Each structure stands twice: as structure tokens, then as C-alpha cells.
Amino acid sequence: MSLAKRNDGCLECRTRRVRCDKTEPECFKCYKKGIKCSGQGIECRFSSHMKYGSSPRPSQPATRTAADGPKASLRAPNRLRWVTVNSKQPGSSDTARLASRRASTTASKTSNKRPIVGPALPNIPASDTDSSAESLEDDVEEVPSREMQLSRPQTALQALSPQARQFFNYFSETIAPKMVVFDFSGNGYRNILLPLACEDELVGQAISVIAAFHLSQQAPHMRMAAEVGQQAILSKLFRDSLQLEPKRLFSLSTWATILVLLVGDTITGANNYVHLLEILSNLAKMSDSVDALSMTTREFIREQTRMFELFGFPLSSETKGLQMLSKRPDYYLDFMSSSPSLNQDPEQYANVSVMKEAIRQACDLYRNRALHLITDEESIKSVERLRETVLDLDPSVDGSHALVWTYFVAAAESITPEHREFFSHRLQSLYSCTHFGTIPIAVQTLEHIWANQGSQRWTQVVTRHRPILIM
């Protein structure tokens, strides 16, 4: 066998004698023709004596055929590319452009079918799916067990359609880095949720849906399919909640699905989070009794649940917010210290210390306003103190996107035009970093809050009239 590095396109385009655009994980010309593209990379060439039926030593155990060899060798490099942290910088325009182009090409084929946003849900018949969600039987090659032992994640990876891999890759490179303070190799959104999504269709559908929501800012036609897919997931979760006993309701799949949907609400600004957050919190409590969970997974569940509780409950209900803030804010801030680089980078450590202090002050502002414990003069002094705390922390600094909720609380509490301008501008600056849709909605809500500042507490305005998950 010899290996050859190809740079003139995929095998299918060269066989058809057309110019390949070299797009990965599959080229667009193969995609348009409905051909399974073998991708770019290393090509394996087998000698003639290795071809099927011509082996000089028939007594030896059977080996993979020549036809199977090149296909597996060509496709394998693309299987795990989405989990590579440094494959592209987050927010790559190429990723968004490719996903948008593929979605627009297949939109006309799915007018009366399920949304093309990832693997099919278990309750959807295989006959209703299209080429973007191929069945396991069509996509996974049969390999004798003696020749190769495949673990479950590898089998699931081979079953993913090219579009699902594209959504997963977009989630890995664009969304996952913004859900932690500092992106690192142990990011649970990448290392725990994505492998789980390859095995669990519900989690995979949820990740595809929120990736489509984020991409719909550049390709609006994708939003309808994402909304339909989101509704299908919510319906299934509701049915499961009615059928399962409470003590059996917890599963890592259910918790992960709800977590991903909450991430979606930060992108879309939907108010589903009010109910989802309650479920997430209850499931996290049940997870303590599940022995099968690894320590890493337990820590991820605890950190992310507390993060959503801290930023979510105060904006969904004053009562729940005050109950949550009866504990010291540091109880919820483990997610800010999960990156191992904090112990090695003094500047990063100092920035985290500033951000933690700013969050503590924002919690005090919320509590004092909800309990009528602050005068206008005291409010102005407290907001100025918070402004001075974050003044030198530029919005472009790595990790500053963790202060979206803090800046919103400070802006809502602001009385003077200077304070309002400062914190609303900070919010708009962070939007250019995350492109999460709740930030523009938060800025619009601030205008409504300021217009009613003399007659209503801003904590009432948000929780009763405009509950949104701002983070």
C-alpha cells in the first residue's frame, strides 16, 4: 500500500473529470449531485496482490477489500475534525458561509418535511428524512468484528450526515467558546456535550437547532426550520416528563438537552428559559445520586447549572431571585475558575478577580432594589462604584463576555445619563463578540425600564413583562 497526498480535489470529482472546490467535509459539487464525497487528504493506493480475490495466501484471515480501504482512509480524517480546538478561530466566516450555502440549496427539498437541523428525533419515521439525515444502515459500512473493533462514539460519528457534522463544528468553534469564561481543552460544551450528541439523537438535534439559530443571523431562511426543530424537542421532553417516574426522570441526555436549549434562549431571546431553568435545576439535584457519572461530568453539571441559576432566576421572578441571592454570590461562581490557565497567567487571574467583584456588586444592586433597601443617592454611588471596578476592563479582553448580566443590571439600575450610556455601550460592545440575540433585546428593554423608572422597580418590569435570559 502507498500513500499519496492529493491537492487536486476529491476522488469523485477527479473520476467525473470536473474541477473540485475542495470544500470540507464534502465538496459542494458532490453535495449538489447527491454523491457521497470522500473528502480531501491522504489517498491510499493498494497493490494489485491486495485486491479482493487475488490474495496469494488464501489461508490467512480475510482483510478489508481494496474498495473498502480507500473509502475508510479518505473519510476518516474528516470524522473528528469538529472536535479540534485550534482548527479555526471562533466565528469563522467560512463555516457560516458554507452552512448557509448548504441550507439554501436543500431548503426547497424540505418544504413539507422535518427541519434539516441535525439527526432525526427517535419518534420521526426514517421515511420522512432526507439526505441530510441518512439512516445508520445507509451510512455505516459493515466491517467484520475481527478486523476492527469500533467504540460506540466512533460508530455514531460515522452515522452523522455532512450537515450535522457542519452544525457540530460550528457549535464547537463559535458557540462553545462563549459559554465559558476562557476557552480551553477541557471545555465541557465541546468535550462532554458533542461526544454525547454523536450517540444521543435528542442532544444532537438540540445542538443542531441552536447552531442553526445562531447561523440564521446571517442566513434568515434557516430560522423557521430551527424553530420547528426546537418545538419537536420540547414536545418530546414534555411527553417524557409525563411518562417517566420522577426518580427515573434524570438522565445525562435530558439534562444536556435542556442545557443546550437554554443556550439557545440566550441566542434567540425566547422566554422558554423560565420553565427550562426549573427543570435543569431539579435534574442537577437528582444527578448527585447517579453513580455512573464521572467526576468531570459532575463538576460540569454543577458549574453550568449554578451559572444559569445565578443569571436566570433573578430575571424570571423576584421571589426566586431573592431566594437564590440569599446565598453568597461566590457559591455560583465556580464556572469562572474552571480554566487551568488561571494559575499560570497573572493577567488572566487579575481579570477574573475584577469580574467576580463586579458580579458581586451587581447581585447587591438587584437585592437592594427588589427589597426597597436603596435610595436614589445610594443607587448612584453603587453604580458608580461598579463602573470604576470595570472601567479598565476593556470589552475586547478575553473572558469579558461573562459580564453581560452584570452590565444589564447596572444599566437597569442607572439613573444618570452618564451611567446609562456607559453600561449600555458595554453591552453593545459585547454583542459584537458573542452575537447572542438577547443582548439587543436587553438594550431595548433598558429603554422601557428607564421610561418607567419612577413608577416601577426595574426588577418588576423584567420579571413580569419581559423575562429574558441575559447572559
Q: What is the CATH number for 19? A: 4.10.240.10
| pLDDT tens-digit series, residues 228-239 | 999 999 998 888
> How many independent structural domains does the chain possess?
3
Is 416 in a helix, a strand, or coil? coil
Q: Phi/psi class of residue 9: alpha, beta or left (left: φ > 0; alpha: ψ in -120 to 50)?
A: left
| Amino acid occupying residue 168 | F
- Same domain, yes or no: 123 and 224: yes
- Same domain, yes or no: 341 and 261: no
Distance set, CA 399 to CA 35, 353, 410 (Å): 43, 12, 19
- Same domain, yes or no: 341 and 276: no
In a domain, 59, yes or no: no
Tell me the C-alpha distance between 447 and 458, whole Å. Answer: 11
In a domain, 318, yes or no: no
- Same domain, yes or no: 255 and 365: no
Tell me the C-alpha distance between 278 and 264, whole Å. Answer: 16
- Same domain, yes or no: 424 and 452: yes
Q: Is the pTM of this model over 0.85?
A: no
Cell 468484528, located at residue? 145
**pLDDT, position 75:** 36
- Same domain, yes or no: 239 and 361: no
- Same domain, yes or no: 374 and 455: yes
In a domain, 383, yes or no: yes
CA 109 to chain centre: 26
**pLDDT, position 245:** 66
In a domain, 55, yes or no: no
| pLDDT tens-digit series, residues 57-70 | 444 443 443 344 44
Q: Kindly state the cell numbers that stand for 226.
A: 430551527
| pLDDT tens-digit series, residues 248-258 | 667 899 999 99
- Same domain, yes or no: 102 and 44: no
Residue 302: strand pairing partners:
none
Tell me the C-alpha distance between 467 and 459, whole Å. Answer: 10
Residue where a domain terminates, one of 260, 293, 326: 293
- Same domain, yes or no: 219 and 351: no
**pLDDT, position 249:** 66
Q: Do 424 and 446 form a contact (C-beta atoms < 8 A)? A: yes
In a domain, 299, yes or no: no
Q: Point out the residues of the chain with pLDDT beneath 50.
A: 1-5, 46-47, 49-116, 118-157
**pLDDT, position 17:** 83
In a domain, 81, yes or no: no
- Same domain, yes or no: 275 and 343: no
The number of CA neighbours under 13 Å toward the Cβ of 248 is 5
Q: Phi/psi class of residue 270: alpha, beta or left (left: φ > 0; alpha: ψ in -120 to 50)?
A: beta
State which residues form the domain around 393. 335-465
- At residue 402's C-alpha, the angle toward residues 400 and 408, to 5°, is 100
C-beta atoms surrounding 263 within 10 Å: 27
Residue where a domain terminates, one of 228, 263, 293: 293
- Same domain, yes or no: 24 and 171: no
Of 428, 419, 355, which Cα lies nearest the Cα of 382?
419
Q: Kindly state the cell numbers that stand for 396.
A: 475586547
In a domain, 300, yes or no: no
- Same domain, yes or no: 225 and 256: yes
In a domain, 26, yes or no: yes
Task: Name the helix (H) or strand (E) containing 64.
Answer: none
Cβ-defined contacts of 378-384 (< 8 Å, 24+): 379/413, 379/415, 380/415, 380/416, 380/419, 382/413, 383/410, 383/413, 383/414, 383/415, 383/416, 383/419, 384/419
Residue where a domain terminates, one of 293, 316, 350: 293
